[in-house]
Amino acid sequence: MVGVISTAALAAVGMSMQFMMIINLLMTLYVVGGNALISRFIGQGRKRRASALLFSLVLFAMGLSVFVSIGGYIGSSWIYTVMGSSHEVIEQGSIYFKALSLGFIVIFIDNLLYNALSAAGDTKSSLYIKLLSACINAVLNYILIFGHFGFEAMGIEGAAIATIIAYSFNVMAYYILIKKMNSKLDFLPIVRLKDLVRVWHVGWGAALDRGISSMSFLIFVSIITAYGTTDLAGYQVGLRIEGIAFMPGFGFAIATVALIGQNIGRNDYDKAYDLGIISGRIAYIFMGSVGVVMITIPELLVGFFTEDKLTIAVASMYLILVGLAQIPLAIVFVYSSALRGAGATKTTLKINVLSLWFFRVIPSYIAYEMGYGIVVIFMIMNIETLIKGIIYWYIYQKRAWLYTKV
């Protein structure tokens, strides 16, 4: 729907995904460590301890979101300017991100509750909540972006407001679910500093990993931005469509965190290892299948987002290339999550940072300076994914990560 407004609006919303990756690193401080600890507590049958930790993490998330909201609102124009965006993209992006910043508190809490329930083994409830939330978001987008049913047409700002309302629905639904439906978790108003420190010890490595990776992606996107708004919009559209392939990978990655954490909590290391292998196999079958679709009908998929022929051409080439990399990407998703679920966040930090810089960012910059086209940048990205998948496969097979102390 945003693509109907303008190419600049489409590029602005797409770039906001990169900024949200940086914000996600702050959420990683409590989400990854919280997942690892909550899943172990559930595996040990310690519901009260898990529930007390969840309550503490909600308070932490609320406090952290306030500072991030202020920074996002004040710096909304600056973050687009730093990326070297055109005047139109900066203008549209500033409007969008200012509005979105006001809802960071519900985004932070939603991320925590979704992951906490998943760590406890309840992913079906989240499925239904997210499906209904997506419908709400889509309907509100239609109403607020274009001005239907008596509402004023708000354009890109309406898209941000619709997103915030959808996240608010998620938080209310999760709260009702946890309080009323005999969940494995509850909100027990006890703050255990010892457990928060344990979460921090696991989370800082994952947050640093996410932070450096996010900055690396921003630099990578800035290289693509240098090719022009059309190439940037094509990349962003392709990335959104690739998100369809991401979903099975994310789903089995979340399942892996829960299953591995719970079985490590029961000291059943062999079962934890085997479940990771099974999750990985299923993930790359699903993602590989979606990859075939992206290779076969890229123009048709891109046509849902934009009618601009040059943008369609760039996005279609992106989809064809990334479609070839879906299987190694599935391995990265599942096995990196397995390591994080076991608390081995320092290992994932080293792998991700070294891989992104030495095999993606630096080669992409060299390729741009040498005058190669955007297609070469996409090829470099795929090669980096393949190399990283091989590294994670090797580390996973060694099993040493299973015995990480949390």
Residue with tokens 């891989």: 355
What's the pTM?
0.70
Indicate if the pLDDT at residue 117 is higher than 90.
no
pLDDT at 42: 84
At residue 48 the predicted structure's pLDDT band, cuts being 50, 70 and 90, is: confident
Q: What is the pLDDT of residues 206-229, one digit of tens each?
A: 778 777 877 787 788 889 888 887
Kindly state the average pLDDT of the residues 158-184.
87
Identify the DSSP state of 402.
G
Q: Is the pLDDT confidence value at 245 over 90? A: no
User: How many CB atoms sit inside 10 A of residue 136's CB?
Assistant: 16
Cα 203 from Cα 344, distance rounded (Å): 10
* Summary mean pLDDT of the chain: 86
Q: What is the pLDDT of residue 182?
A: 61
Q: Is the pLDDT of residue 327 over 80?
A: yes
Q: Which long-range contacts (CB under 8 A, 24 or more apart) does 71-75 make?
A: 72/19, 72/23, 72/97, 72/98, 72/100, 72/101, 72/104, 73/98, 73/101, 73/102
Q: What is the pLDDT of residues 371-391, one digit of tens each?
A: 898 899 999 999 999 999 999
Between 34 and 136, name the one with better pLDDT: 136
Share of the chain above pLDDT 90, in %: 30
Task: Answer whether residue 127 shows pLDDT above 70.
Answer: yes
Q: Is the pLDDT of residue 181 over 70?
A: no
Angle at 210 between CA 208 and CA 211, to 5 degrees: 60
pLDDT beyond 80 at 62: yes
Residue 137: band (very low, low, confident or very high) from pLDDT cuts 50, 70, 90? very high
How many angstroms from the chain centroid is the CA of residue 193?
Answer: 28
Question: Where do the structural domains in the chain lie, given as residue ranges?
Answer: 1-204, 226-406
Residue closest to 163 by CA, chosen among 105, 111, 107, 108: 107
Helix extents (H) in 102-185: 104-119, 124-146, 156-180
Mean pLDDT of 234-240: 85
The Cα–Cα gap between 351 and 349 comes to 6
Q: For the stretch 49-68, what's the b/e string if a residue is b when 16 or more beta carbons lie within 10 angstroms of its beta carbon?
A: bbbbbbbbbbebbeebbeeb
pLDDT of residue 370: 92
How far is residue 246's CA from residue 327's CA, in Å, rounded to a whole number?
Answer: 11
Indicate whether 83 pLDDT > 80. no
Helix (H) or strand (E) holding 333: helix 326-341
Instruction: Tell whether the model's pLDDT for residue 120 goes beyond 70.
Output: yes
Pair 275, 138: CB distance under 8 Å: no
- Burial of 342-379, coded b for 16+ CB within 10 Å and e otherwise, reads bbbbbbbbebbbebbbebbbebbbebbeeeeebeebbb
* 296-302 mean pLDDT: 90
Print burial letters for 314-340: b (CB count within 10 Å at least 16), e (below 16). bbbbbbbbbbbbbbbbbbbbbbbbbbb
Query: Which of 6, 143, 30, 145 shows the shortest CA–CA distance to 88?
Result: 6
Exposure string for 263-274, b = 16+ CB within 10 A, e = fewer: bbbeeeeeebbe
**Rg of the chain on CA atoms, in Å:** 21
In 155-268, which residue ranges form alpha helices assigned H by DSSP? 156-180, 193-225, 229-265
Percent of the chain residues past pLDDT 70, beyond the cut? 99
d(CA 37, CA 200): 11
Show Cβ contacts of residue 165 under 8 Å, excluding neighbours closer than 6 positions: 136, 137, 140
SS3 content of the chain, % helix, strand, coil (to 5): 85, 0, 15
